[in-house]
Amino acid sequence: MIYWALLLHAYQPPTQLPRVVRKIANESYRPLVSLYREMPEAKVTVNICGSLTDILYDLCFSDVIEGLEDLARNGQVEFTGSAKYHPILPLIPEDEIRRQIELNSKTNKHFFGDSFKPRGFFLPELCYGKEIVKPVADTGHEWFIMSGIGCPAEWPVNIIYQVESEGRRVAVFFRDDLLSNMVGFQKMEGGEPFLEELRKVQDARGFEDIYVITAMDAETFGHHIWLWEKLFLMEAYEEIQQQKSLSAQQKQVLEAEEEIKAVTVSELLDLFPKGDVIEPKPSSWSTTAEDLENDNPYPLWKGRDNELHPHLWESLEICIETVQRALEVADNDESRKYARIARLLLDRAEHSCQWWWASKRPWWDINMIANGLHEHHRAMINAYKAIKSSGCDEETKKEYYYKVIAAREFRWKVSDELFM
């Protein structure tokens, strides 16, 4: 038996234009919900970041939210945990990691109710660093998924590796990068050729039972690739269902290929044994072998030769420190009000898109970068206002005013690069 687990990741940044979200929802999210409703035996693991759930509700796409909830209650969809505003988790402090995970859980439990009970965790951009293991384990997740390029051991198809932090173990799944990219970039004609690729994996390894995990953006289907949900997903599921419908005698007469079954990622935990404890390589789903050789694990978010990335990170680090100090010193109604606002704005400011659009590999968009910087600036304004209006000593107020000036300098440096 070949067990195929598909994971779809749905996310839009808090700075996304409403017209863009409407276009994506109509081209991708709604058709995907309809497809799974029409195919009751199809299964999928879904990550939807809380930032997108909020936006869909605000833009009156409650049918998408309700559709996913219904599919989860039917057992077709399993949700994963994640970070609400899609930050690059290995690159932010641990307390910020935990907050983003908790915000995501609170938001999605509000909208999806009891159907949101994730066993697994989706790392934004599949960015792994050992820093994430403890907060992911501590928040109750049994597994997380990362890019196959980060696997340091023999490729797993019939065992599930584990990682360990302070005596706690979490299962780690690796996506098949080759097959995922073949699907995600339409390097095959449809669902049937994909199933043939799955059979080739089994033939190459020779095990009776294997699993293969593919993971990609949900927006791949219908938005990035027009009608790909029908030309690929529907075709694959229909072929699997047709194969399942064959009688044992028909399979024998036709010498049918090995059966393939669509499952959720969590179902694999109950189907395959645990393997060794390993230490995966820091990486993302955009990391290449050359990047790893050059000690450049997060090239689209902290590229070694990128001029903008360091300035953006410096700006965010100052912002985090200033907001934390504002929360500590706020001691009256006015300062507490501004500190709360600053905290909420900082959550948004951590979203990954500003670095991605600054990567120039190959994508580049000055407005998405500027939008991210604006989120930093708004958080800083409110944080310093909280400090200034609090009863803390004048030395502290002076110290953090200098940090406001330093953050302004980094914003200017980014702006200068954008102008050039």
53-69 tens-digit pLDDT = 999 999 999 999 999 99
Whether the pLDDT of residue 273 is over 50: the answer is yes
Q: Is 341 helix (H, G, I), strand (E, B) or coil?
A: helix
Token pair, residue 201, equals 């994996």
| Residues with Cβ within 8 Å of residue 392, at least 6 apart in sequence | 329, 331
- pTM of the full predicted structure? 0.95
Give residue 213's pLDDT: 98
Give residue 251's pLDDT: 55
Length of the chain: 420
Q: For residue 172, what are the β-bridge partners? A: 144
**What percent of the chain has a predicted confidence (pLDDT) above 90?**
91
Lowest mean pLDDT among 92-96, 181-185, 408-412, 413-417: 413-417
Lowest mean pLDDT among 30-39, 89-98, 261-270, 359-368: 359-368
Q: How many CB atoms neighbour CB 232 within 10 A? A: 22
Report the alpha-carbon distance of residue 103 to residue 327 in Å, rounded.
Answer: 18
Q: Do residues 127 and 97 touch, judged by C-beta distance below 8 A? A: no
Across 67-118, the runs of DSSP E, i.e. the strands, are 77-79
Q: Do residues 145 and 7 touch, judged by C-beta distance below 8 A? A: yes
Whether the pLDDT of residue 181 is over 60: the answer is yes
In this prediction, residue 417 has a pLDDT band, given cuts at 50, 70 and 90, of confident
- Residue 366 parent element (H or E): helix 366-388
Give residue 254's pLDDT: 41
Q: In the CATH hierarchy, which top-level class contains the domain 2-293?
A: alpha beta
Direct distance between the N- and C-terminal alpha carbons of the chain, in angstroms, rounded to an integer: 56
Give residue 124's pLDDT: 98
- Mean per-residue pLDDT for 403-417? 91
Report the alpha-carbon distance of residue 296 to residue 71 in Å, rounded.
Answer: 39
Q: Of 248 and 268, which is predicted with more confidence?
A: 268
Q: Average pLDDT, whole number, for the chain?
A: 95
CA distances from residue 363 to 19, 168, 369, 373 in whole angstroms, order as listed = 20, 39, 11, 18
Task: Please choose, from the candidates 52, 79, 75, 51, the residue with its C-alpha nearest in 3D space to the C-alpha of residue 64.
Answer: 52
Whether the pLDDT of residue 388 is over 60: the answer is yes
Torsion of CA 221, 227, 229, 231, to 10 degrees: -130
Which residue type, as a one-letter code, is found at position 218?
A
In this prediction, residue 126 has a pLDDT band, given cuts at 50, 70 and 90, of very high
Q: Do residues 8 and 175 touch, judged by C-beta distance below 8 A? A: no
**What percent of the chain has a predicted confidence (pLDDT) above 70?**
97
Residue 274 Cα to chain centre, angstroms? 24
Report the alpha-carbon distance of residue 120 to residue 131 in Å, rounded.
Answer: 17
